[in-house]
Amino acid sequence: MTIPATSADATALLGVYARVGPLFVAGEGSELIAEDGTRYLDFVAGIAVNALGYNSPVIRDAVLRALDAGLIHVSNLYRTEPGERLAAELTKSLGGGGQAFFCNSGAEANEGAFKFARKWSKKTDIVAFSGSFHGRLFASLAATDRPDYRRPFEPLLAGVQIVPLGDVEAAQQAITADRTAAVIIEPVQGEGGVRPVPAEFLAFLREQCDACGCALIFDEVQCGLGRTGTLFASEQTGVTPDMYTLAKPLGGGLPMGAILVSDAIAAALAPGDHATTFGGGPFVATVAHDVVRTIAEPEFLAAVRAKGAWLGDRLQRLAASSALVREARGRGLMWGLELNEVAAPIVAAARERQLLVLTAGPTVLRIVPPLTITREDLERGVTILGEVLA
Ligand SMILES: Cc1ncc(COP(=O)(O)O)c(C=O)c1O
C-alpha cells in the first residue's frame, strides 16, 4: 500500500471537534495507518460506521460500479434504480411491508421520524429516555439526554420529555393519548454508556404506544445493521416498532440515513410532506445496498455473534479481574466498560499502544470494531486493553 505525502493543517477547520492523535492517511481491514506508517488497531470504526472495515472489496466494487453507471446524483424528482432496490432490501429484511425514506445522517432520520409521527398521530409531543442520544439538530437534540449539549442552543423543540430509562410508572405518566406523538428509544443505548434496554421495557412501551395511539421509534442508528449480531438489534427482543431510524454503517462510510416506516404511517404521508435533496441518490444507494446485503447474510451475522460472544466473555473476565472496571455491558460487537474513573486517559493510553477505543459518556470505554474484524485482531486489542487497564 502506498501512503500519500500530506501537507495537512487543521487551522481552517471550525473548532467544534477536539481532534487528537496522528494524521491518518490510509486504512486496511481493521487498521488505520498514520502518515509515519504506524498501524493502529481500530476498535472505533469511525464511531460504529465502518462495519466492513477499511478498503473493503464489497465497498470498492460497489463504488466502482456506481461510478461506471455515471450517476452520482439525479434528485428525488425522478426514479433511479439503486434507491428502489435498497428500499426493497430493507423492507424485505423486516418481513415485507413498510416503506423507506432516505436521508443523510442519523439526526436527520430522527427529525424526519418525529415529523412522520406528528402527521400520522395528529399530536405533537415526544417522549425519550435518560441516557439517550438521538442527534444534534433542534428536535433530535431536544430528545437527547445531554443537558450540556442542549443548554447553549435552547429553546429547542418544545414538548419533549425525557423519562428515566426503565421506569414503567414514569413512562406511563409521560405517554398520553391526547398529546404524545412518538416515543423514541435506542434498543441498545450507545453514546449514553452502551446499555442494552431490557426486552420487557420495550414490550411495555409497545403496549403503551398501542394504547395511546403514538408511534414507537427504535433509533438503531448505532446498534442496528448487524452491530449486535442480528440485522436489527430489536429482533433479539421480539418487539417491533412503528419506525426504525438507521444511519452510521448504512452507506459504508458515505453519508446516509434511513427511516423505515410501517404501512399505517406511510399511508398518512403524501408528496410534499418531507424531502431532502441528496437522500437516497444512486451513488450512495448502490453502496448501501451492497453493505446491507453483505451484513444481512446469515453467515455474516452468525460470525458477528460468535466474535461478540468471545469478546463479551473476555471483557467480563477483564471486568472481574481489574479494580478499574466496574462492569462490562453489551451485545454482539458493541461493548462498554464502565470504569470507576474517567475513561479519557485510558483512551489516550490505548492510543499510545496503537489501539483506538472511544468513550461513551465520562466513565465508559466503548468498543465498536468493524464487524469484519478477525478473532486474532480482537484478541490483540483486548490484550492491549488489559495491559492499559493494569
Ligand atoms: C443512536 C444514535 N442516534 C442518532 C445519532 C446521530 O447520528 P448523526 O451523527 O449521523 O447525525 C447517533 C450518533 O452517534 C446515535 O448514536
| Nearest residue by C-alpha to atom 7 in ligand 1 | 106
Last residue of a domain, one of 296, 320, 348: 296
Give the Å distances, CA to CA, from 297 to 93, 293, 294, 378: 11, 7, 6, 22
Q: Per the domain annotation, does 369 fall within a domain?
A: yes
Distance 359 CA to ligand 1 centre (A): 15
DSSP secondary structure letters along 60-96: HHHHHHHHHHT-S---TTS--HHHHHHHHHHHHHTTS
> CATH code at 372?
3.90.1150.10
348-359 residue pLDDT tens: 999 999 999 999
Same domain, 210 and 224: yes
Which atom belonging to ligand 1 lies closest to the Cα atom of 247?
A: 10
Q: Name 185's bridge partners.
A: 218
| Grid cell 403503551 in the structure block, residue | 208
182 grid coordinates: 412518538
pLDDT band per the 50, 70, 90 thresholds, residue 140: very high
Domain count, the chain: 2
pLDDT of residue 7: 64
- Type of residue at 239: V
For residue 280, the SS3 value is coil
Q: Per the domain annotation, does 2 fall within a domain?
A: no
pLDDT band per the 50, 70, 90 thresholds, residue 6: low
Q: Per the domain annotation, does 127 fall within a domain?
A: yes
102-136 residue pLDDT tens: 999 999 999 999 999 999 999 999 999 999 999 99
DSSP secondary structure letters along 154-201: -S--SSEEEE-TT-HHHHHHH--TTTEEEEEE-SEESTTT-EEPPHHH
Same domain, 196 and 308: no
Same domain, 173 and 115: yes
pLDDT band per the 50, 70, 90 thresholds, residue 4: low
Which atom belonging to ligand 1 lies closest to the Cα atom of 223?
A: 1
Which atom belonging to ligand 1 lies closest to the Cα atom of 190?
A: 16
Distance 3 CA to ligand 1 centre (A): 31
Do residues 101 and 274 lie in contact, with contact meaning Cβ atoms separated by under 8 Å? yes
Same domain, 76 and 32: no
Same domain, 161 and 22: no
Same domain, 242 and 339: no
Q: Per the domain annotation, does 138 fall within a domain?
A: yes
Cα torsion 358, 235, 244, 177: sign: negative
250 CB near ligand 1 (under 6 Å): no
Phi, psi (degrees; rounded to nearest 5) at 100 = -115, 145
pLDDT band per the 50, 70, 90 thresholds, residue 9: confident
Which atom belonging to ligand 1 lies closest to the Cα atom of 47?
A: 14
Same domain, 75 and 179: yes
Q: Per the domain annotation, does 280 fall within a domain?
A: yes
pTM of the predicted protein model: 0.97
> CATH code at 114?
3.40.640.10
Last residue of a domain, one of 272, 296, 320: 296
Last residue of a domain, one of 271, 296, 321: 296
Longest dimension (CA), the chain: 62
Same domain, 346 and 366: yes
CA 62 to chain CA mean position, Å: 22
Residue 313 has pLDDT above 70, yes or no: yes
Same domain, 195 and 273: yes
Same domain, 109 and 232: yes
Best residue among 16, 17, 104, 133 to mutate for probing ligand 1's pocket (most ligand atoms within 8 Å of CB) is 133
Phi, psi (degrees; rounded to nearest 5) at 387 = -65, -45
Residues of the domain holding 139: 59-296
Residue 3 has pLDDT above 80, yes or no: no
Residue 383 has pLDDT above 90, yes or no: yes
Q: Per the domain annotation, does 5 fall within a domain?
A: no
249-298 residue pLDDT tens: 999 999 999 999 999 999 999 999 999 999 999 999 999 999 999 999 99
Residue 2 has pLDDT above 80, yes or no: no
Alpha helices (runs of H) in 94-137, residue ranges in sequence order: 106-121
Distance 105 CA to ligand 1 centre (A): 7
Cα torsion 35, 40, 46, 51: sign: positive
Do residues 336 and 366 lie in contact, with contact meaning Cβ atoms separated by under 8 Å? yes
222 CB near ligand 1 (under 6 Å): yes
247 CB near ligand 1 (under 6 Å): yes
Same domain, 203 and 105: yes
Q: Per the domain annotation, does 232 fall within a domain?
A: yes
Same domain, 176 and 302: no
Distance 182 CA to ligand 1 centre (A): 18
Q: Per the domain annotation, does 151 fall within a domain?
A: yes
Give the Å distances, CA to CA, from 159 to 77, 120, 219: 34, 17, 19
Portion of the chain with pLDDT greater than 90, in percent = 95
Distance 78 CA to ligand 1 centre (A): 29
159-207 residue pLDDT tens: 999 999 999 999 999 999 999 999 999 999 999 999 999 999 999 999 9
pLDDT of residue 5: 63
66 grid coordinates: 456506481
